[in-house]
């Protein structure tokens, strides 16, 4: 129950709507009693006593009650939908925002399909519980109380019998609770696995087609579906046994009450109309009691969904807010304002001729494998650096450490002479633009893919950057040019065109440091050289870091950092390294064929 309480805060702002809904439902319940009263009058007065003049009044009462019920049902539906969507949007926004801030190492333990399932299906289950289920249970409890007292007023003995069978139903419900919850949790996991598999398959159709693996995929998919089928049948049997048990109890209760009612009629203690009314009330009583029992299933489903959502909220976030950690070395008098520290330290670094970024004795491991071992490096303003080396030697890891996607196990990184541990992620990533290897494309227009919501790009810069990246080479051939919708994953574009969009997207940002990770892998050499030349001119007053296997494209652009065996083997200009470093000679002579 404590888990549910945490989520009730999302419903709290709408308590007035809950009150209105409950008021309308109670009113609806009172209106529904009109039908029971009318039945008694029809049997005892119209049919038996032949008081036919009452038919007009009865018909009018039924029409009015039906109209009122229609208005009540419409109003309840509108209010319920309003609350449901408000709560759903709030929780989904909070979860998606949180997921985007979780550390990559932590979020990667949950597959994409499972995350999608939790964000959509589990939140919908929670929202449904917080609105419809809670309102229904309160309504049913209210109705049970009302119907109990009306029934008790009519016949105390029969009412106590009805109550006895209702208690048995609640007992059976409790017995089935754990089985329902366990199976529902397993089914949710399999549903998430199903969604994840389909997401992976549809995303990588070209790959599987190229390997002719349709039968392989079908075999895996059938196995997954069979596992889901087993759980579905198990759920059916649990629900069937549960529902049948409840139905039999209701049936026994109704038969017992009917039998005793007939006996009381034979003894002259009850009229036929009264028995009909009581039987109708009993049916409603068990209907509300059964709904309360069904609430237990909804409660267990909600608990499963809350556990799955809470698992995500328990994952560790990156430090998007300014931490309270202070820099280990102070160059300013301001300790409370990180933004001021950055600006003042920048001036101090320039005066002291210190690097904009300094890496000191930094080490990093992936599990037991050492990726970087005690490396130190200084990156100065307006300079270009090219990081080269074999695959798996930590080139991309350095980029991840600079942008706080990873954290070193030893050593530190200083930015404007401040330890980056003292800087929030959002401040750091505004100042460092990292263009990753993968070309991420939105299902949107080319313009939106380029700007990615950046409203600070004027027309002159937009045109200039697009020319640098040769975007206009293919945009001019499209009917709607920059307003062309390019489809999911940029299906209408070649890999080279996607890569050019990714590069341009990075250049539109106004940062101090730009990291380019294998940005020419899908470009022909002539085009790659031209784009790199344009980047160098556009970012002449910025730090530029290129990560590449093909040093031939960048050899003359700046200082070259050679990573080998988890260490910085050498740093220098192309001509110097070509003369003294055999490993560099090997890389340069191999050109873009060196990918080991």
Confidence class for position 134, pLDDT limits 50, 70, 90: confident
Any domain includes 270: yes
Query: Residue 296 has what pLDDT?
Result: 74
Any domain includes 235: yes
CB-CB contact of 218 with 265 (8 Å)? no
Overall average pLDDT of the 430-458 stretch: 83
Half-sphere exposure of 585 (CA within 13 A, CB side): 6
Q: Of the residues 279, 313, 347, which one is the last residue of a structural domain?
A: 313
Identify the CA nearest to 389 among candidates 569, 253, 151: 569
Q: Is 397 exposed, middle or buried (0-12, 13-18, 19+ CB in 10 A)?
A: buried
Confidence class for position 25, pLDDT limits 50, 70, 90: confident
H or E element at residue 371: strand 369-379
CB-CB contact of 553 with 583 (8 Å)? no
Any domain includes 160: yes
Q: What is the CATH number of the domain that holds 420?
A: 3.40.50.300
421 vs 226: CA distance, rounded Å: 49
Same domain, 386 and 301: no
Higher per-residue confidence, 276 vs 71: 71
589 vs 594: CA distance, rounded Å: 9
Same domain, 305 and 419: no
Q: What's the alpha-carbon Rg for the chain, to the nearest Å?
A: 35
Find which of 258-267, 325-334, 501-510 is predicted with most confidence, using mean pLDDT: 501-510
Q: State yes or no: pLDDT of 75 exceeds 80.
A: yes
pLDDT above 90 covers a percentage of the chain that reads 2
Q: State yes or no: pLDDT of 387 exceeds 80.
A: yes
Confidence class for position 278, pLDDT limits 50, 70, 90: confident
The strand pairing partners of 362, in sequence order, are 375
State the chain's mean pLDDT as an integer.
80
Domain hosting residue 183, numbered range = 82-313
Confidence class for position 206, pLDDT limits 50, 70, 90: low
Q: Which two tokens stand for residue 236?
A: 């059916």
Same domain, 294 and 391: no
Confidence class for position 484, pLDDT limits 50, 70, 90: confident
> What's the total number of domains in the chain?
2
Query: Residue 36 has what pLDDT?
Result: 66
Identify the CA nearest to 544 among candidates 384, 437, 436, 435: 384
Query: Residue 515 has what pLDDT?
Result: 92
Find which of 95-99, 376-380, 387-391 is predicted with most confidence, using mean pLDDT: 376-380
CB-CB contact of 195 with 117 (8 Å)? yes
90 vs 87: CA distance, rounded Å: 5
H or E element at residue 103: none
Overall average pLDDT of the 373-382 stretch: 88
* DSSP-assigned states of every residue in 176-209: HHHHHHHHHHHHHHHHHHHHHHHHHHHHTHHHHH
Q: What is the CATH number of the domain that holds 155?
A: 1.20.1560.10
Q: Of the residues 313, 347, 380, which one is the last residue of a structural domain?
A: 313
Q: Which two tokens stand for residue 288?
A: 């509300």
Query: Residue 545 has what pLDDT?
Result: 92
Same domain, 517 and 392: yes
Same domain, 401 and 306: no
Identify the CA nearest to 20 among candidates 84, 88, 76, 77: 76
Overall average pLDDT of the 533-548 stretch: 90
Same domain, 344 and 459: yes
Confidence class for position 6, pLDDT limits 50, 70, 90: confident
Q: What is the DSSP letter of 523?
A: S
Overall average pLDDT of the 356-363 stretch: 88
Query: Residue 329 has what pLDDT?
Result: 33
Higher per-residue confidence, 298 vs 222: 222
Q: Of the residues 313, 330, 362, which one is the last residue of a structural domain?
A: 313
Question: Angle CA(48)–CA(51)–CA(53) in degrees, nearest 5?
Answer: 150
Any domain includes 23: no
Overall average pLDDT of the 183-207 stretch: 78
Identify the CA nearest to 288 among candidates 185, 162, 378, 181: 162
Same domain, 303 and 346: no
**Using one digit for the tens of pLDDT, what is the confidence trace for 288-346?**
777 776 777 788 788 888 888 888 888 888 776 654 333 333 333 433 454 455 445 44
Query: Residue 385 has what pLDDT?
Result: 92
Find which of 111-115, 116-120, 271-275, 323-327 is predicted with most confidence, using mean pLDDT: 116-120
Query: Residue 211 has what pLDDT?
Result: 66
The values of phi and psi at residue 147, to 5°, are -65, -35
Half-sphere exposure of 519 (CA within 13 A, CB side): 31
Overall average pLDDT of the 30-57 stretch: 72
Provide CB contacts within 8 A for 73, sequence distance 6+.
Answer: 28
Q: CB 485: neighbour CB atoms within 10 A?
A: 12
**Using one digit for the tens of pLDDT, what is the confidence trace for 554-595?**
878 889 998 888 888 888 888 888 888 888 888 777 654 443
pLDDT above 70 covers a percentage of the chain that reads 89
**Using one digit for the tens of pLDDT, what is the confidence trace for 223-232?**
888 888 888 8
Residue 249: C-alpha distances to residues 163, 164, 178, 253, 284 (Å): 11, 10, 21, 6, 15
Same domain, 267 and 345: no
Q: State yes or no: pLDDT of 436 exceeds 60.
A: yes
Q: State yes or no: pLDDT of 398 exceeds 80.
A: yes
Q: State yes or no: pLDDT of 220 exceeds 80.
A: yes
Identify the CA nearest to 125 among candidates 314, 310, 304, 312: 304
Overall average pLDDT of the 506-531 stretch: 88
Any domain includes 169: yes
* DSSP-assigned states of every residue in 295-339: HHHHHHHHHHHHHHHHHHHTSPBP--SPPSPPPSS--SS--S-HH
Q: Is 466 exposed, middle or buried (0-12, 13-18, 19+ CB in 10 A)?
A: buried
Overall average pLDDT of the 272-294 stretch: 75
Any domain includes 552: yes
Any domain includes 12: no
Same domain, 260 and 374: no
CB-CB contact of 532 with 511 (8 Å)? no
Query: Residue 439 has what pLDDT?
Result: 81
Same domain, 241 and 279: yes
CB-CB contact of 514 with 545 (8 Å)? yes
CB-CB contact of 527 with 470 (8 Å)? yes
Same domain, 528 and 392: yes
Same domain, 418 and 560: yes
471 vs 220: CA distance, rounded Å: 41
CB-CB contact of 437 with 396 (8 Å)? yes
Query: Residue 5 has what pLDDT?
Result: 78
Query: Residue 472 has what pLDDT?
Result: 85
CB-CB contact of 503 with 516 (8 Å)? yes
The values of phi and psi at residue 517, to 5°, are -105, 105
């Amino acid at each position: 129950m404590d888990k549910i309480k945490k989520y009730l805060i999302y419903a709290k702002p709408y308590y007035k709507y809950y009150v209105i809904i409950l008021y309308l439902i109670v009113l609806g319940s009172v209106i529904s009693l009109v039908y029971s009263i009318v039945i008694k009058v029809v049997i005892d007065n119209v049919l038996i006593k032949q008081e036919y003049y009452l038919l007009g009044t009865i018909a009018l009462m039924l029409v009015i009650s039906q109209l009122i019920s229609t208005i009540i049902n419409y109003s309840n539906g509108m209010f319920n939908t309003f609350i449901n969507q408000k709560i759903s949007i709030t929780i989904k926004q909070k979860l998606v925002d949180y997921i985007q801030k979780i550390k990559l190492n932590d979020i990667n333990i949950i597959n994409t399909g499972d995350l999608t399932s939790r964000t959509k299906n589990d939140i919908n289950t929670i929202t449904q519980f917080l609105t419809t289920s809670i309102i229904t249970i309160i309504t049913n409890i209210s109705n049970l109380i009302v119907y109990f007292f009306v029934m008790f007023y009519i016949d105390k003995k029969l009412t106590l019998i009805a109550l006895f069978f209702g208690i048995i139903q609640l007992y059976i419900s409790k017995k089935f609770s754990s089985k329902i919850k366990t199976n529902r949790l397993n089914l949710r996991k399999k549903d998430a696995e199903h969604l994840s598999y389909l997401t992976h398959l549809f995303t990588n159709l070209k790959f599987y087609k190229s390997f002719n693996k349709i039968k392989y995929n079908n075999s895996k998919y059938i196995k997954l579906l069979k596992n889901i089928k087993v759980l579905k049948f198990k759920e059916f049997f649990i629900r069937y046994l549960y529902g049948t048990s409840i139905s039999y109890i209701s049936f026994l209760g109704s038969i017992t009450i009917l039998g005793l009612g007939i006996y009381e009629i034979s003894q002259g203690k009850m009229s036929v109309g009264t028995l009909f009314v009581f039987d109708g009330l009993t049916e409603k009583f068990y209907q509300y009691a059964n709904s309360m029992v069904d609430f237990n299933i909804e409660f267990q489903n909600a608990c499963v969904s809350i556990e799955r959502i809470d698992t995500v909220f328990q994952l560790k976030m990156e430090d998007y807010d300014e931490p309270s950690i202070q820099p280990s070395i102070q160059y300013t008098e301001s300790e409370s304002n990180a933004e001021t520290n950055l600006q003042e330290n920048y001036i101090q670094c320039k005066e002291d001729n210190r690097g904009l970024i300094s890496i000191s004795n930094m080490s990093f491991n992936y599990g037991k494998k050492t990726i970087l071992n005690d490396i130190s490096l200084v990156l100065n303003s307006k300079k270009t650096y090219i990081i080269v080396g074999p695959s798996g030697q930590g080139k991309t890891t350095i980029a991840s450490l600079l942008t706080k996607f990873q954290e070193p196990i030893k050593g530190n990184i200083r930015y404007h002479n401040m330890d980056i541990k003292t800087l929030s992620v959002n401040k750091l990533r505004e100042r460092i633009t990292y263009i990753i290897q993968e070309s991420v494309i939105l299902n949107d227009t080319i313009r939106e893919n380029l700007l990615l919501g950046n409203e600070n790009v004027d027309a002159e810069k937009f045109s200039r950057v697009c020319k640098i990246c040769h975007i206009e080479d293919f945009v001019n051939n499209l009917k709607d040019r920059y307003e062309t919708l390019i489809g999911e994953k940029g299906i209408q574009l070649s890999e080279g065109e996607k890569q050019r969009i990714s590069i341009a997207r990075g250049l539109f940002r106004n940062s101090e440091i730009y990291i380019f990770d294998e940005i020419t892998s899908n470009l022909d050499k002539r085009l790659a050289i031209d784009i790199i030349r344009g980047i160098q001119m556009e970012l002449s007053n910025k730090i530029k870091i290129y990560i590449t296997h093909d040093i031939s494209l960048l050899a003359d652009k700046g200082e070259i950092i050679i990573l080998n065996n988890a260490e910085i083997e050498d740093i220098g200009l192309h001509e110097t390294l070509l003369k003294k470093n055999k490993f560099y000679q090997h890389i340069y002579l191999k050109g873009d064929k060196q990918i080991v």
